[in-house]
């Protein structure tokens, strides 16, 4: 049964967000500085393009998830607010600009993501490699997390990114297999799962991470099965957050999952063996990524110490 509150009147029915999903509008001085830097360097961020609710908090703390390879995606997922169409030419100055932003923000940890680029022979993998290389050269102390597309039918793409040795390789499964045809029609669940498994096969030292959205119509048993699939692929870090409908054109929110339900998911995930779990209404892939990475590394060290 849905637990959403419906507002009725002359206008079409709409769903009111519960109190736990309401956040302050951004506008701090540090937020504006981060925004200006992204504009000056002509960089896109998933924070803006995907209308992330945490943008005010993250940008105030100078944490921005840079989105490379443009702001136009070749896919049209039902949950995503990023524009769909024919992307522009790859910006060859982008890797240097990203490295400059990392340096000016003084980031200890950075998250690099991208739109899907099915139009490119390698899906954009080489641009990820160049960005990682530039950051390593300019800010060797910064840890790097990549959140890549699925590289569907892009031979050698995963291998190229892994060889560049990011500290964290993230790829989101997004939802349960049953909902892929309606929510993520351009992707394949088991292809995404194999990507995560392949990363671990290539380099077990790289942390792997994946996330799903709650509130799209999935049930608990399906979420538990996704957890089991991820653990079979040795995924280290699981994120679960509430799906929020970007516009009326996107998939509807089936229901708002309560904080207690998210806490239950977190307990189950930890019991299944994930090194790290973030499950809450406002959890997103890169939310608190820096702090989470430090904890993730500490958890692995503790696990290894117990195994000795």
Residue-by-residue DSSP string for 259-278: HHHHHHHHHHHHHTT-SEEE
pLDDT of residue 1: 42
Which 3 state secondary structure label does DSSP give 179?
A: helix
The distance from CA 257 to its chain's CA centroid, rounded to whole angstroms, is 19
* CA dist., res. 3 & res. 95, Å (int): 45
Say how far apart CA 79 and CA 247 lie, in whole Å: 9
Q: What is the pLDDT of residue 66?
A: 87
Per-residue pLDDT of the chain (308 residues; tens, 9 = 90+): 445 444 444 444 455 788 877 766 556 677 777 777 778 887 787 656 556 665 656 656 666 688 999 999 999 999 998 899 999 999 999 999 999 989 988 888 899 999 999 999 999 999 999 999 999 999 999 999 999 999 999 999 999 999 999 999 999 999 999 999 999 999 999 999 999 999 999 999 999 999 999 999 999 999 999 999 999 999 999 999 999 998 999 999 999 999 999 999 999 999 999 999 999 998 887 767 778 888 999 999 998 888 87
Q: How large is the greatest C-alpha to C-alpha distance in the chain, in angstroms?
A: 67
Give me the pLDDT at residue 114, please: 96
Report helix angle 125-138 to 94-105, nearest 10: 40
First to last CA, the chain: 48
Comparing CA positions, the residue from 102, 137, 40 lying closest to residue 290 is: 102
Phi and psi (nearest 5°) for 37?
Answer: -65, -45
CA distance 93 to 298: 35
* Nearby residues of 69 by Cβ (< 8 Å), 6 or more positions away: 87, 90, 94, 114, 115, 117, 120, 124, 127
Q: How far apart are CA 143 and CA 296, in angstroms?
A: 12
Tokens of 286: 């890169």
- pTM, whole model, 2 decimals? 0.88
Token readout for 257 is 């999952």
DSSP 175: S
CA gap 153, 98 in Å, rounded: 27
Handedness of CA 43, 45, 50, 52 (dihedral sign): negative
Q: H-type helices in the chain, by residue range?
A: 29-40, 46-49, 55-60, 94-105, 125-138, 157-163, 180-183, 189-202, 220-232, 259-271, 289-307
């Amino acid at each position: 049964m849905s637990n959403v509150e419906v507002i009725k009147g002359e206008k079409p029915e709409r769903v009111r967000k519960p109190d736990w999903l309401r956040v302050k509008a951004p506008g701090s001085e540090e937020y504006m500085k981060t925004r200006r830097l992204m504009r000056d360097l002509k960089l896109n961020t998933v924070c803006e393009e995907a209308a992330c609710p945490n943008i005010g908090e993250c940008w105030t703390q100078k944490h921005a998830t840079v989105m490379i390879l443009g702001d136009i995606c070749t896919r049209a997922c039902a949950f995503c607010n990023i524009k769909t169409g024919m992307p522009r030419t790859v910006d060859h100055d982008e890797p240097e600009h990203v490295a400059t932003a990392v340096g000016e923000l003084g980031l200890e940890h950075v998250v690099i993501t991208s739109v899907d680029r099915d139009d490119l022979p390698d899906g954009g993998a080489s641009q990820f490699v160049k960005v990682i290389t530039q950051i390593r050269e300019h800010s060797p102390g910064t840890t790097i997390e990549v959140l890549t597309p699925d590289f569907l039918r892009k031979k050698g793409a995963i291998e190229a990114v892994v060889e560049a040795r990011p500290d964290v390789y993230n790829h989101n499964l997004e939802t349960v297999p049953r909902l892929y045809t309606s929510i993520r029609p351009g992707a394949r669940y088991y292809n995404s799962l194999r990507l995560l498994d392949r990363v671990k096969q290539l380099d077990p030292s790289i942390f792997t991470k994946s996330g799903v959205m709650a509130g799209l119509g999935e049930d608990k048993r399906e979420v538990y099965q996704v957890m089991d699939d991820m653990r079979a692929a040795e995924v280290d870090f699981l994120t679960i957050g509430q799906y929020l409908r970007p516009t009326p054109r996107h998939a509807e929110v089936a229901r708002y999952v309560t904080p207690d339900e998210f806490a239950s998911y977190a307990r189950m995930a930890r019991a299944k063996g994930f090194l790290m779990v973030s499950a809450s209404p406002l959890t997103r892939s890169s939310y608190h990524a820096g702090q989470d990475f430090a904890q993730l590394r500490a958890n692995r060290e503790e696990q290894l110490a117990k195994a000795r």
